[in-house]
Structure 1
């Protein structure tokens, strides 16, 4: 039976204009009379005017009709605030209303009804000269409601002849209308730029031209019994001013050019290449596949769980048992067979699923002529084929419905197909999948106070230690010791605790009050709070109301109450990655998201030279590699290529980029789970990882490169192979939004207004990683926790001697330019190159005599240096650096220490030796820190009179210098000092200068240390 379509709906966007704050006065009397104008999708509405108020309140609800819900996220909502000129002292002379500010909100910030919240948007300028301030509070949401159906008017016929209208003569065909006419006829009451094309059987050749146009406006004929269970597909085709031909896919009774024939047909040759029509697959190589869709069979003899075998060349695949064992089984499976070498025939056979696996019939198709499906064409209609039995024709009966076509990995049937590259029992673990990280919130629990606690009074001299502990899943946090009044009736904390919560918010938080005054911890009471009842807020302006919760414990139930303020913070970004390799900085609340600035496209081409990860048959090495890419909340996983050291994936994915200063992470793993038993859940082995920073990519340029896959093992760094990827950042080169991102804070504003401590942030990050790993492990196929932890770099902040050395050499690399500059200056003042020294003298004279040229000259010099280094810019994004990581020179014992967990599992002698080595290293660091402190203390000693003679000399010299600088022109002083500094070595004394000797003789506090 045909499925009943859902009733038509109309989407409406609601904008609640609540209030505004701190507006600019415009009426000449220190006030304004503001009103708001909202513009959306060509619809313009305004609020009432609030007279003479800089903090107006409207609380008005404006509704707009969304013409096309599919493109709502691409629409813009403009909110403008004006001062009404009719009110105020300047009404007579004002020509137009004064502009008070505007806000532009994108469709990605619209929420469904029930999920909205009050958000304050800062008012923006319309041009550079505008004086704008303040903010406006809005609630924006949308909802769908059933559309009102217009009933046709019932007209009584004038005579009986009009009851049976005469059909139009077939010879008079209406002329084909233009594309504009087609669009006008097919547009519903709300204008949309989409024509709905219903697939129908092809008309006779004489009426082909008229049917192409009438298919969009005429109902589809009722299908016959053979295709009753397969409703015709509805496709959307975008139209423009040019006339377009509306293509139709043929049904089972149509032209033979649509599906393969057993004997003959008019088709495209199998050896011809498949053109890539989809731009989203232009970064990878096309891989040709033969797709076989097994739908169902009918008229089979009675059997038990029949299945289908598909064989071509060296590929043989088997379907799942049918869902019903009657004579009309159904499979609905798609097989993708690699066509590296074109085959001539395709054999499809049906078998009995019983113990004997009896042959039920088959069909052999000629593959010399197979239709080629180019995206975005619709799916190919399946055909009925009569089953044949070869020699035993008597026991064969029935038909099978099959569709066969040639396509590439861009085919929409490819992700869910049974691929010939994967072994049949483990196909679910080898498919490519797209995952989404869960939506994470920071849960803020403000513990204020507690009253009426039933506790035991501690002995005299023992402080009363009452603490509050909160638990959410595997997370827990505890307050400090409370402050208590003299009567032990009120316990105060005024402390904020943070946990990470994940949607769906169906967990319960447990709040416990503990008495730690005694040796044994006693439970005073507890209360359970459902996470679904916790209020959500988007920014710090909204103050969540606090509540009293009754504590229950023991037979008497009530044992006090605790005062808490609970809220889910949507204005923070929940960090699950290290800050230096973060791929997303958006806050949790979608209402605060900004529009994307570009699209990141990644083509995972393949890998080569992979090392064997496992053994097959006890001798042969094997690798079953797949690739994982993570950016933002989206994870992608390619299909697993089994038993290959040079796998070719050729899969392409895209991400929306909201901040170019983010990092894309790509990892390659060896699949162990597909061969493991249910009890023996073996983790996937990591092969290597690559990071690509988006900001290092030029706009709209394709980078194709091979990156080494490096893994740090206990035995040292090891190259596991190479991965080849193509990446492109599709973005206008000078888009204002992209350039403006470099001047904005990286994290949301709540991280700066209500910051979270560094240590607490790291604890929350570990909890977030664990929640993400648990969420992805419940997917199908599951993504292992070891994969998530490796991709998110969970152990990136653990201490190791190798990382310490790497960071030290990074610091040396940063200050290398200062060291080089000091060496160059020393060469100049020592006259190593007299020509250079003379030129420096001349330049110094010019800059001293014309000081206004100092800053322009410095800026010009920096510009020239940047332009010079443009020649040496990196041509491709760089990957992991073995030398920068100090992995090529690391000591074996240092590596063993890096892999040692906490607490250590090594013998006491090894731990003692490592501790002594760490003490010697710390002694050197301690000595350097003491030297830095001593230099600063000597500077303080200049005027602190700790050395009276030194202080008298210093202040006396300062007095003389002040008199000299007052009398002598500054330019002459600067020239004299410069020439003295650059004097020839023959006029120099090899001993240290007097000023340095004086400074070194100043006292420090080092002699006062124990």
Structure 2
């Protein structure tokens, strides 16, 4: 047995060595994973630049569509059997054909449906609008039609009012006037037309039923989330069945499917005390009730309910500031069932002391802090005016890979989702195309420049209607994140971003998406002032949440947001919302730990270079530089007041020198930064493993899960350390041009002030300020701390 185990260990070590020596070739060396600047024709022929043209939809290429709005019909002829027809309208233009819904037994139906076809797809000179009678036996009867010459269709350009529909006489097949009239409007417009979002595109008429709604572009709003804080203080006069033992009481609080409980009270009597905070996430409108019960742990897996009661959420007090909410006593109730199954409620003398409030002074974390697109407090009373506008033009995609098989060949039905703040957008689905063109433009208000917009591309797998079983999921094609603070104001950025997905087989490029982005600031002074403000609302600093509370609350928030958006029409499905919110990205993996390690090494390389330079000075590698250092050292000894002023002046000059090397493009997903191109097969297998793992026996599974949990904390700490170093490096890198400009102005002012102020005076002031009494300290972060936390880091480029 010993020899057998030794042989197994040797084989296992050999396999591990083979994995280490032969990392999986995840990334094709011929593939281009870099960002590319493009020059599309925007706004009807305008080439992007630093100019500003205030026209509607000026960040996308204008696409002309033929629109047909079928409104209603009247005085249709009856059937031969004196019955009313089941009319519907068929729109035919060349090889494209679309039909409206049908009405049963109606002589005056009203459809009010819009059809659209891109102008480049028009292959006929006449559009036929035919009214037919639906026959259940498969042969529909002809009622009448109207033919319109495409060349005579008028053009309409918003903000012109919508074109008024007109009545048209129906004609038979010989062109003679028939009985009945049809009201419709036909015009040439662009994607800026208000009819565009609701139009049924004739190139997607193979979609029918409930699937029609899933191909249209829509705008969604996330529900407004609140923190519900339940402070369980104490109870009095508890009544339990066994008088011979002291109760081991705890309080269980349930809100929907979420259940939290306090610890067992240390005071084992009928007046236990807890003084614990339990927190939930709730969404407006408040529909649930908060159910609280006091229970006694009688034995192993056995509890006795001593009483319970419920509180409607709309009756809970809303707290906007640091004020302590009022506490209240609640009487417990005993719920019993009689023989007929009816529930009897008996009010007890026992009561529970609580402090319950809805905290509106916090920002509810429905995303990772590094990728947050909204940092405002929940309560609208605490919101500040917007500082600018973010405009996004979703242009097109190129080189998408086939995501599914249809009729024996690969195909992709792609759509985009973008999320910023509470507003989510979804473009229309372009069917059966590996190079879809959306050319849709959207706008958001910006309240903080240090926020991130996320754009994801997905394949629509619900074109045949709603999946009742919930088995089908929309596969992810890729994602892009853009931090607003890295964008210059009033500049149009047009780039082609690689769509990268990490799979168990390795990193894979799924195609490219072309975007046009512009951030417009309404006031430069207000924009610069944001860098001195705390990153999060005040309540996060006055009453900070623990890391365990944040993890639990973030999980609750994402579940609520995904559930609410999945109930919209068309639904924004759970897998889409979770991918956009980076759910599960904090789980530990070897690849992420290596990426954070390399980030730390890259930051430390600057210090290592400084030590190497100093070693060269000591070894007289360059006599001229060594003599110059000796002269500077003697000058600083004689005039110590020049030390700080020279240092700040040197930083100022470095920053000015690096201005010409400033980044020209927004950050993007970097596979090298993420170590995705060098990940081993076993590392990816571990990263995509389920949690808890299913690959090992029970004991090893428990230890493995515990190791991953601890490793995730270490990974977060390493990532935070790397982030701080990168922020320090970005003080002079012009990654955030406004922050670097502010820092350089500070350096210049500091160099001037320190040049004329005695060094001893500055030293006394600085030391006394650092050692000041706590009475003179503010609980909120200092101005330099707020400025430093707003600096960008490379977290935006991690997969």
When normalised by structure 2's length, the TM-score is 0.77
Alignment of 1:338-353 (within 5 A): 338-342=118-122, 343-353=124-134
Aligned counterpart in structure 2 of residue 366 of structure 1, from 146, 149, 153: 149
Deviation at 1:540, TM superposition (A): 1.5
Bigger fraction of residues in helix: 2
Q: Determine the C-alpha separation between the residues in 1 that align with 2:85 and 2:578.
A: 46
Deviation at 1:483, TM superposition (A): 3.3
> Is the aligned partner of 1:503 residue 2:284?
yes
Q: Determine the C-alpha separation between the residues in 2 that align with 1:371 and 1:531.
A: 55
Q: Which runs of 5+ in 1 are unaligned?
A: 1-272, 930-969, 972-1010
Larger Rg: 1
Alignment of 1:255-334 (within 5 A): 279-302=55-78, 303-322=84-103, 325-334=105-114
Counterpart in the other structure of 1:407? 189
Q: Determine the C-alpha separation between the residues in 2 that align with 1:366 and 1:294.
A: 17
Q: Determine the C-alpha separation between the residues in 1 that align with 2:77 and 2:65.
A: 33
Counterpart in the other structure of 1:357? 140
Any conservation in 2 of the 1:304–1:354 contact (CA below 8 Å)?
no
Deviation at 1:391, TM superposition (A): 3.2
Distance 1:766 1:728, change over 3 A: same
Q: Determine the C-alpha separation between the residues in 2 that align with 1:684 and 1:447.
A: 43
SS in 2 for 1:603: strand
Deviation at 1:779, TM superposition (A): 0.2
Task: Tell me the alpha carbon deviations over residues 816-863 of structure 1, each in whole angstroms, 9 at most, x when there is no partner.
Answer: 211111111111111111121111111222222211111111111111
Distance 1:391 1:695, change over 3 A: same
Aligned counterpart in structure 2 of residue 552 of structure 1, from 327, 331, 334: 334
Any conservation in 2 of the 1:583–1:631 contact (CA below 8 Å)?
yes
Distance 1:285 1:908, change over 3 A: same
Q: Determine the C-alpha separation between the residues in 2 that align with 1:903 and 1:913.
A: 8
RMSD between superposed Cα atoms in Å: 2.6
Any conservation in 1 of the 2:158–2:192 contact (CA below 8 Å)?
yes
Counterpart in the other structure of 2:258? 475
> Is the aligned partner of 1:863 residue 2:659?
no
Any conservation in 2 of the 1:440–1:588 contact (CA below 8 Å)?
yes
Alignment of 1:440-589 (within 5 A): 440-456=225-241, 464-484=247-267, 488-519=269-300, 520-541=302-323, 543-554=325-336, 557-559=346-348, 560-589=350-379
Any conservation in 2 of the 1:419–1:427 contact (CA below 8 Å)?
no
SS in 2 for 1:340: helix
Task: Tell me the alpha carbon deviations over residues 8-66 of structure 1, each in whole angstroms, 9 at most, x when there is no partner.
Answer: xxxxxxxxxxxxxxxxxxxxxxxxxxxxxxxxxxxxxxxxxxxxxxxxxxxxxxxxxxx
Q: Which runs of 5+ in 2 are unaligned?
A: 1-42, 47-52, 79-83, 337-343, 719-758, 761-799
Counterpart in the other structure of 1:800? 589
Deviation at 1:913, TM superposition (A): 13
Distance 1:875 1:369, change over 3 A: same
Aligned residues: 645
Task: Tell me the alpha carbon deviations over residues 619-673 of structure 1, each in whole angstroms, 9 at most, x when there is no partner.
Answer: 2110000000000000000000000000000000010000000000000000012
Any conservation in 2 of the 1:603–1:653 contact (CA below 8 Å)?
yes
Task: Tell me the alpha carbon deviations over residues 140-176 of structure 1, each in whole angstroms, 9 at most, x when there is no partner.
Answer: xxxxxxxxxxxxxxxxxxxxxxxxxxxxxxxxxxxxx
Task: Tell me the alpha carbon deviations over residues 67-125 of structure 1, each in whole angstroms, 9 at most, x when there is no partner.
Answer: xxxxxxxxxxxxxxxxxxxxxxxxxxxxxxxxxxxxxxxxxxxxxxxxxxxxxxxxxxx
SS in 1 for 2:415: strand
Q: Determine the C-alpha separation between the residues in 1 that align with 2:262 and 2:56.
A: 52
When normalised by structure 1's length, the TM-score is 0.61
Any conservation in 2 of the 1:274–1:407 contact (CA below 8 Å)?
no
Q: Determine the C-alpha separation between the residues in 2 that align with 1:908 and 1:889.
A: 29
Any conservation in 1 of the 2:130–2:144 contact (CA below 8 Å)?
yes
Moved more, 676-685 or 594-603: 676-685
SS in 1 for 2:120: coil
Task: Tell me the alpha carbon deviations over residues 520-561 of structure 1, each in whole angstroms, 9 at most, x when there is no partner.
Answer: 222211111111111112111253342323232446823421
Q: Determine the C-alpha separation between the residues in 1 that align with 2:529 and 2:247.
A: 55
Aligned counterpart in structure 1 of residue 491 of structure 2, from 688, 701, 718: 701
Q: Determine the C-alpha separation between the residues in 2 that align with 1:662 and 1:606.
A: 24
Q: Determine the C-alpha separation between the residues in 1 that align with 2:159 and 2:203.
A: 25
Distance 1:855 1:525, change over 3 A: same
Aligned counterpart in structure 1 of residue 548 of structure 2, from 759, 765, 769: 759
SS in 1 for 2:455: strand
SS in 1 for 2:541: helix
Deviation at 1:329, TM superposition (A): 1.8
Any conservation in 1 of the 2:692–2:705 contact (CA below 8 Å)?
no
Aligned counterpart in structure 2 of residue 623 of structure 1, from 412, 415, 423: 412
Counterpart in the other structure of 1:817? 606
Q: Determine the C-alpha separation between the residues in 2 that align with 1:400 and 1:598.
A: 47
Q: Determine the C-alpha separation between the residues in 1 that align with 2:392 and 2:147.
A: 40
Q: Determine the C-alpha separation between the residues in 1 that align with 2:69 and 2:659.
A: 54
Distance 1:347 1:759, change over 3 A: same
